[in-house]
Structure 1
């Protein structure tokens, strides 16, 4: 198991570079394949048997709501498009299995340590990218946004790269006793995070630090980190490029328009939405995106996870997912790393669809599983 688990976690560093499009809009990543192999091994060796997890009911509730939202709209999209949309719900369910695996007391793999190592490696690759390949505009024909002079690492998106770096930085709080090596790693993550110039990630960082101060009472450390953050922001190189300015308006206006479309869709089908992950086809039918954008990296989503839930699964889906988040908070208790990370993800999810981004989902489920295993060990 250890070899497969290590390969799975390190494959996350490959990001979008280790992804293969098997159908327009359907991508399989290296970590997907390795995760399936890992889960097959886990089931074959019965390592997950008998594992009782506290999120079980809320997870099943959301899965069946998502499935119902697709079935109810099969007449609108047809069998093929409904099947393609259901693949992402299947991916979500497979990622949830990571949570069950990590929570199992029958395995002793150091998930947090290797996850942290992968984030540090991701940051190092990102810094090399920032120095050697800072311009993504030559890949716009493949559907990527034209980011330049920003760190986007192997995810090819500074916003998602930013939240992974923030999560890595906060995970380092759990290894506070290993200071010499930890300081170097945390500085690497912090520097890489700053160079994303991602406002959503900056806000996620602030939310995480404030949460950390509230639940640990270490207000001096939190204040010091915030002062360091704002001081670093003040001296970041801008290169006279508008896209690097924190107060840039173009993307904010575009995001507001994106939210408005999502709320319009929710207003038309408020109870159960339009079907989980069907937005690519809904927007194409309405000519909100042209036919060539059906392979776009952004044509199938909304820049807000909660509006995404409302538009695709309605109030029922949003309520069931809020049940999951609330269950995580209740199960975390005094686990500072999980609570801080969850706060950062939730804030980030108001600006991009973080809650359903593969790398963020994997992070969240590993942290939730690790916290539950530690708590279960303490209760026995």
Structure 2
């Protein structure tokens, strides 16, 4: 009973988003309430199953261990060039990543060994979905202006849907993941609307590519032996087409009261990202093999008072600079392995992989947590 209580509580606290965040040392150290209970769940599962889940992960995803080893090596190299505090903060990013990857492995093993666990996860996910609907609608109607938190490092979003996540890219990614996962028409429609109201063009592009992938995958086969299968897929093609047309319609009618944020032809964010990529490329050239260490980027970039100081506007660039070319290759290898073993979840990989070109979503704790649940549910 305690385990199930902690599981539901973890999802409940996860639904708080940034409201459940605690920051220390001028935002250099951040953690979320739900991560405390996530750690407790992982400890309980570890004592229950010992190393068996890790053995299962090793069989299918050896590259995960290679990826972690490379990140650790990148952090170890150059250790003497930074203060003890800076190294400690950098190490916390790696520890957090280990927490989430461990959670993926043990959660998947728990579902495999406990027949009723899938129902528990779905119920927890439904709680998160309902609370996200409530908080997003409340935020959009009653708190559409985030400019008063600009001094804390948040972007000054105005008349955009960001819920309790305070970031349209992260919020939009979460909305997109739920949209792609659920089969419930009402939920799908609501989250598509939220996605549109984020006014994030990178989200628009990513969801378009994901829908295009699904469309191509479901195009009826022409060979006679596959005609029956093709008939079953025609309905899927029609649904995707309808949702895409509805998506375009929502973009056209979405209210755009005021502000540059809702202007889809804005150029400021494009210029800002290009500068960010250029900075990352310049840093990469100086240390191309193993980078500066995962994750010391806030000290390398000398951005110590921002919640986003430890990343670039791309997960790939973040890994490339912090762990070098070897780190990026191992990350791509990890994504390839997940693609190979998660056939039903490939649309999520397409969506997240595309979105990660424009924002650091793959390594964000909210995305890591939710993706772990959805990847497992997609393929079971």
How far is 1:113 from its partner? 4.8
The CA RMSD over aligned residues, in Å, is 1.7
SS in 2 for 1:210: helix
Counterpart position of 1:7: 9
Counterpart position of 1:250: 268
Counterpart position of 1:322: 332
1:7-55 deviation line (CA, Å, top 9, x unaligned) = 1122211011101113331111011101011111112223773561254
2:211 to 209, 212, 229: 209
Counterpart position of 1:109: 117
Runs (5+) with no aligned partner, structure 1: 174-181, 375-380
* 208 and 121 in structure 1: CA distance in 2 versus 1, 3 angstrom threshold: farther
> Are the equivalent residues in 1 in contact too, given 2:46–2:106 (CA < 8 A)?
no
How far is 1:189 from its partner? 1.5
> Are the equivalent residues in 2 in contact too, given 1:101–1:369 (CA < 8 A)?
no
Counterpart position of 1:348: 355
Does residue 80 of structure 1 match 2:85?
yes
The separation in 2 between residues aligned to 1:127 and 1:340, in whole angstroms, is 27
Give matches, 1:1-380, under 5 Å: 1-24=3-26, 25-46=28-49, 49=52, 52-53=56-57, 54-104=59-109, 105-107=112-114, 108-110=116-118, 111-173=121-183, 182-217=184-219, 218-284=236-302, 289=303, 294-333=304-343, 335=344, 338-371=345-378, 374=380
Q: TM-score, normalized by length of structure 2? A: 0.89
The separation in 2 between residues aligned to 1:280 and 1:56, in whole angstroms, is 30
Per mean C-alpha deviation after superposition, the further-off stretch among 18-27 and 257-266 is: 18-27
> Are the equivalent residues in 1 in contact too, given 2:298–2:311 (CA < 8 A)?
yes
How far is 1:332 from its partner? 1.1
> Are the equivalent residues in 1 in contact too, given 2:158–2:259 (CA < 8 A)?
no
Q: TM-score, normalized by length of structure 1? A: 0.89
* 371 and 226 in structure 1: CA distance in 2 versus 1, 3 angstrom threshold: closer
How far is 1:347 from its partner? 0.8
The separation in 1 between residues aligned to 2:350 and 2:4, in whole angstroms, is 30
1:180-209 deviation line (CA, Å, top 9, x unaligned) = xx2222222122221111111111211221
Aligned length: 354
> Are the equivalent residues in 1 in contact too, given 2:136–2:164 (CA < 8 A)?
yes
The separation in 2 between residues aligned to 1:354 and 1:316, in whole angstroms, is 20
1:314-346 deviation line (CA, Å, top 9, x unaligned) = 11000111111000000013x1xx111111111
How far is 1:115 from its partner? 2.3
The separation in 2 between residues aligned to 1:120 and 1:353, in whole angstroms, is 26
The separation in 1 between residues aligned to 2:377 and 2:250, in whole angstroms, is 32
The separation in 2 between residues aligned to 1:341 and 1:32, in whole angstroms, is 23
* 371 and 168 in structure 1: CA distance in 2 versus 1, 3 angstrom threshold: closer
How far is 1:259 from its partner? 0.5
Counterpart position of 1:377: none
Runs (5+) with no aligned partner, structure 2: 220-235
The separation in 1 between residues aligned to 2:180 and 2:286, in whole angstroms, is 40
How far is 1:257 from its partner? 0.2
